[in-house]
Structure 1
Amino acid sequence: MRRESTAPVSNEGLVWPSPSAMMAVPVVRPPPHALRHLFASEAINEGVDVYTLADLLGHEDPAFALRRYVHRVTGAVEKARKAIGRRYRAAA
């Protein structure tokens, strides 16, 4: 929904939950290493090369990053076929 006014949004009129209600809701806080693993896995899935990823993560050996963060990705084979096909078509 688009606002017509250019005035800043205020919290006037909002109802805030009580502290007891806030405590009743479980909050999941992932450990930092889980966030690091997610970052690395997503970087690999998006095509960041393993040498760059190893540098970003502070790993001396890129093979460690490969062993730890590379997983089978849904659609990876098709993505690879398309990438190779584009390369060959460009060279032709």
Structure 2
Amino acid sequence: MQPVPQLSKENIMNTSRTLASALAAAVLAVSAGQVLAADPAPQGKTREQVKAELAEALRTGDIVAGGDSGMKLNELFPNRYPVKTSK
């Protein structure tokens, strides 16, 4: 026969913390699922829209140049691309 574990204040506190953590995790999981289910799926762009945006970026040089500079082509070579106008 195994000995009965002693109930101490520390054991009770550890058990209650574990139960509280498990309960909080369960509540968060349920509420997150409801939030995700409530949002309608965002509508993506069509293939034609993406192709048009890419063509415009290539035309205006608004695309990141290769290498480590992190600059766009129209920043590196402004004389090769039309000047951007503000809308």
TM-score by length of 1: 0.30
Higher relative CO (Cα under 8 Å, sequence separation at least 6) belongs to: 1
- In the superposition, the TM-score normalised over structure 2's length comes to 0.32
